[in-house]
Structure 1
Amino acid sequence: MSVDFAIVGAGPAGMAAATLAAELGLDTLLLDEQGGPGGQIYRAIDRTHAEASNPSPLGADYLAGRSLVADFRASGANYRPATTVWHVDPDGALSVVSDGVSETITARRVLLATGAIERPLPLPGWTLPGVMTVGAAQILLKTADIVPDGRTVLAGQGPLLYLAAMQLARAGAPPAALLETTPHENYHAAARRLGSAWAGRRALAKGLGWQLALRRAGIPVRHDVRGLRALGRDRVERVVWDGGEIAVDYLLLHEGVIPNTQISLALQLTHDWDTAQLCWRPVVDEWGRTSLPNIAIAGDGAGIAGADAAILSGRMAALGAAAALGRIGEADRDRRARPIRAALALEQGFRPFLDSLYRPAPSVLAPPEDDTIVCRCEEVTAGQIRRGVRLGAPGPNQLKAFTRCGMGPCQGRVCGPIVSAVIAEARGIPIADVGTYRPRAPYKPVTVGALAGLGAAK
């Protein structure tokens, strides 16, 4: 199968790009792992049937995704849900698997719109049953209307932490407490960015509204929480921090999100260390173009900016692809891009304030306790990583000679940021000088049967 434009990921950026690209006459194919469009933020939006008299506990912002999905479905773009992309060649060939059958798709232009992943929060006890990320809890709520059935505590920081607390409360499962780990000094740093906060005054007012609603609901919020630990025998039973503790049945963790760079790193695209967001991000221009001319990236996969900015960057990427493939001229591209570019600049103007306010503490990036598990797949601890550094491992990839860290099914997708931070701390150098894992195909586990089918097809 050959197409003009292949897009990986059906979140806000991917849907917006597919919609506009199809309208501009490109033979467009959207590939996505999920069973329906929406990405994480609008996950399972097709199955939500909330009316004004019985609103969804997920809120109006979630329901706003309906119009984006409707526009995409009406665009004429081809759509392949429940499809995993497990390899992308620099020349635009994509290896995918669906229903246990693998095939190769070729595209003249490829757009990676794989969004963000939650920043891992390694702490003592984070592998206990009953401890999960806020994003995982949201998936259960959005896809199956499942909420925790016991005392639930949310811990971490960022807008999603408060949003999830509100959603659980509306769904009839109010959290027992919210433990915010934002360092007190971050508020002083954010105060110096108040000028950028004006650009996001609506989002800021929304966040303040969530905090006020939690207070009215009687949900206690603890600030500047440090030394967080999850304790229990067979599952989490207590959450302890410096100066306090609480009995729990579930602990939901969240420390913000970072770009999902698994495919872009595997392609060896140029990446920079983002000193504001403390993560690796691919280098792209305003059209999403990367260091490989036929590969572009849009949305949070190119840097965290939120759903609205992702939609706009997806449209910019579609315009760039259409111009590169000769469907529109550069003058037409630039004319169409002008209002999108202005709106995108406004959306991104709020980020300096948020990045300063929710900057993770050093203990979040690199757990100080040696016995804390870092690599969940292979059960490698922070202490074992530090020992590998003492034995001569200068970076994550070389560490594999001393431990199996990053060699499990996720290939370091979860532990990679922590591993780089622990190595940097142990060596006394910046994380940017340490580097990160280079993932290899297959990006996700693929059965031998699927691979055999690919060979038979060839």
Structure 2
Amino acid sequence: MIRDIRSAADLAPAYDLVVVGAGPAGLSAAIEASTHGLAVLLADENEAPGGQIYRSVERASDADLARMGPDYAAGRMLIGRFRRADLSYARRATVWNVGPADEETGDGAHALEVGISLGGIARPIAAHRVILATGALERPLPFPGWTMPGVMAAGAAQILMKSSGLVPSGRTILAGTGPLLYLLASQLLRAGVSVTAVVDTTPVGNWRLALPHLLSFATSPYALKGLRLLFEVHRRTRVIRGVTALEAVGSGKFGALRVHRGIKSMHIEGDLLLLHQGIAPNLNLTLAAGCDYGWDERLAAFRPAVDGRGASSVAGVSIAGDAAGIVGAVASAHQGELAGLTAARDLNRLDQGAYERRRNQLAQKLARALKGRTFIENRFRPGKSFRVPGDDGTIVCRCEEITAGKLREVAALGVPGPNQMKAFTRCGMGPCQGRLCGLTAVELLAQCRGVAPGEVGYYRLRPPIKPVTLYELAALPHTEAAIVAVAGFVERAADGAQDAKHGSQQ
């Protein structure tokens, strides 16, 4: 049975393996590693395991399972295996740093240190290996009016539906691209929501890129599921394809969506607009850990550099699941298993022969799960006009309300990258730390400079990658180096403490 860690005081000072994220990849990595005798800690910021794809599946009713579909219900089996595993589980925990172990406080045996906050207290945890399974983020879809009340991300609507059973009550419009757009539409329709229209912004020209991979897709598990999904949505609501531009309008709040198809346009009234333009790897913790990354043109996003086992460029740090590249729930689980297995092999918990046999089994399962992904990536690749807003008045950075026009002004000054753009405009400096604006800002700057996004690079991310309070930091162990950093030198800090003590006695 798992050990449920509720307080930072209950955390061990060191683990063989720390897994970050309790989605399909993280759960599978933790289970696999624990079966080989590793001391495993799985840390996740949510209340219950499952990640976004299996959110709240343990307490879902039969009606919820029927509405969300069989892929969602499959999460119960995985979480059941996790509940029976011999490992430690820290829920509602914030992992804000992964890096080399501190030479002063480390035990010399563990190469890595993980910064975790739990129950309002921060702790550094030593680890031999770390697996980052932080999943993906919804890609922004910036266009005029996308920040007004009544417009929200489709993923946020799905979270409300899974965690609280809340669904929209008014006329709902979905806009964007990707399989998840149609999946959410079907789930809302089954829940009785009035879905006025599904507005598909997928570029028509994507078919030319996807067709060479059609046969592989047709023989994959995705084909039949996709056809059923499309048929259901088309049968029950209006689907508008070939859309080239969008504009949300309303007096103080969303009231209608203006849809452009070339020179033609239409006006669709509604009460709620849900946006989705695919997902991209969640890189913040990966980049803060120092892992190498690069631009994936087919994905139109940055992704970390990993080998076939999930190992990153940082020794001891592996990345699995959608955090390493969008692969879906089933493939994410197999990548997690492979990363957990490799951690056990690296720590000498199984011999090479047993490792090779198990690895070959997982590699075959992973190859089957990945079949058809190339077609999907090419078919639903977001159009450039929806990734980089042409209208200068469109807000790119929601936290700081920075427009595309302001970013273009700064780009014209010759800034070499997004970090300098951040210094000039504060774009990416808000609470989301670039999660919502990063890809848009990078592609906009690359467009202005006439270079590929890979040449521009991404934001330079430093820990903590999540907000940490002063109270939590004060709870960290006070090392000699920390005292010197604040007081100047240890003796002076000790003298100050003595002076304070004497002063309180007088």
Same fold (TM over 0.5): yes
Aligned residue in 1 for 2:493 = none
Distance 2:353 2:469 in 1: 47
**Misfit runs of 4+, over 6 Å:** none
* More displaced 10-residue stretch of structure 1: 223-232 or 139-148: 223-232
User: Does residue 1:454 correspond to 2:476, yes or no?
Assistant: yes
Structure 1 regions of 5+ residues with no counterpart? none
- After TM superposition, give the deviation of residue 411 of structure 1 in Å: 1.4
Amino acid at match of 1:31: A
* More displaced 10-residue stretch of structure 1: 266-275 or 20-29: 266-275
Residues 157 and 181 in structure 1, CA contact (< 8 A), matched pair in contact too: yes
Distance 2:248 2:94 in 1: 34
Aligned residue in 2 for 1:279 = 301
Distance 1:272 1:256 in 2: 19
TM, length-normalised to structure 2: 0.88
- After TM superposition, give the deviation of residue 194 of structure 1 in Å: 1.1
Q: Select the residue among 24, 27, 35 that pairs with 1:15.
A: 27
Aligned residue in 2 for 1:62 = 72
**How do 1:328-347 residues align onto structure 2 when only pairs under 5 Å count?**
328-347=350-369
**How do 1:183-202 residues align onto structure 2 when only pairs under 5 Å count?**
183-200=203-220, 202=221
What do the CA deviations read for 1:104-157 (whole angstroms, capped 9, x no partner)? 111110000001111111111111111111110000000000001111100001
Residues 97 and 289 in structure 2, CA contact (< 8 A), matched pair in contact too: no
Change in CA separation of 1:199 and 1:78 when aligned onto 2, cut-off 3 Å: farther
Aligned residue in 1 for 2:373 = 351
Aligned residue in 2 for 1:419 = 441
Amino acid at match of 1:212: F
Residues 150 and 273 in structure 2, CA contact (< 8 A), matched pair in contact too: yes
User: Does residue 1:261 correspond to 2:279, yes or no?
Assistant: no
Distance 2:234 2:147 in 1: 30
Residues 86 and 95 in structure 1, CA contact (< 8 A), matched pair in contact too: yes
- After TM superposition, give the deviation of residue 172 of structure 1 in Å: 1.4
Q: Select the residue among 157, 171, 181 that pairs with 1:137.
A: 157
Change in CA separation of 1:354 and 1:449 when aligned onto 2, cut-off 3 Å: same
Aligned residue in 1 for 2:58 = 46
Residues 93 and 105 in structure 1, CA contact (< 8 A), matched pair in contact too: yes
- After TM superposition, give the deviation of residue 265 of structure 1 in Å: 1.1
What do the CA deviations read for 1:206-243 (whole angstroms, capped 9, x no partner)? 111111112332x0000011211111232111111111
User: Does residue 1:211 correspond to 2:235, yes or no?
Assistant: no
Residues 373 and 381 in structure 1, CA contact (< 8 A), matched pair in contact too: yes
**SS of the residue 1:400 aligns to:** helix
**SS of the residue 1:71 aligns to:** helix
Aligned residue in 1 for 2:246 = 228
**How do 1:132-171 residues align onto structure 2 when only pairs under 5 Å count?**
132-171=152-191
Aligned residue in 2 for 1:34 = 46
Aligned residue in 2 for 1:438 = 460
**SS of the residue 1:405 aligns to:** coil
Q: Select the residue among 18, 24, 29 that pairs with 2:36.
A: 24
Distance 1:29 1:174 in 2: 43
- After TM superposition, give the deviation of residue 268 of structure 1 in Å: 2.1
Distance 1:415 1:250 in 2: 22
* More displaced 10-residue stretch of structure 1: 159-168 or 327-336: 327-336
- After TM superposition, give the deviation of residue 275 of structure 1 in Å: 1.5
Residues 225 and 241 in structure 1, CA contact (< 8 A), matched pair in contact too: yes
Q: Select the residue among 285, 296, 320 that pairs with 1:298.
A: 320
What do the CA deviations read for 1:375-434 (whole angstroms, capped 9, x no partner)? 111111111111111112121011123211111112111111000000011111111111
Aligned residue in 1 for 2:197 = 177
Q: Select the residue among 131, 154, 162 that pairs with 1:111.
A: 131
Residues 186 and 359 in structure 1, CA contact (< 8 A), matched pair in contact too: yes
Distance 2:474 2:255 in 1: 46
User: Does residue 1:5 correspond to 2:17, yes or no?
Assistant: yes
- Identity across the alignment (%): 45
* More displaced 10-residue stretch of structure 1: 93-102 or 19-28: 93-102
Q: Which has the larger radius of gyration?
A: 2
What do the CA deviations read for 1:288-345 (whole angstroms, capped 9, x no partner)? 1111121000001111110000000001001110000010122211111111101111
- After TM superposition, give the deviation of residue 55 of structure 1 in Å: 4.8
Distance 1:456 1:401 in 2: 32
- After TM superposition, give the deviation of residue 261 of structure 1 in Å: 0.6
- After TM superposition, give the deviation of residue 192 of structure 1 in Å: 2.1
- After TM superposition, give the deviation of residue 31 of structure 1 in Å: 0.3
Distance 1:24 1:55 in 2: 33
Residues 197 and 204 in structure 1, CA contact (< 8 A), matched pair in contact too: yes
User: Does residue 1:71 correspond to 2:81, yes or no?
Assistant: yes
- After TM superposition, give the deviation of residue 369 of structure 1 in Å: 0.7
- After TM superposition, give the deviation of residue 188 of structure 1 in Å: 2.6
Aligned residue in 1 for 2:91 = 81
**SS of the residue 2:276 aligns to:** strand
Amino acid at match of 1:90: P
**SS of the residue 1:192 aligns to:** helix
Distance 2:65 2:419 in 1: 49
Amino acid at match of 1:444: K
Distance 2:61 2:352 in 1: 42
**SS of the residue 1:312 aligns to:** helix
TM, length-normalised to structure 1: 0.97
Residues 165 and 174 in structure 1, CA contact (< 8 A), matched pair in contact too: no
Amino acid at match of 2:232: A
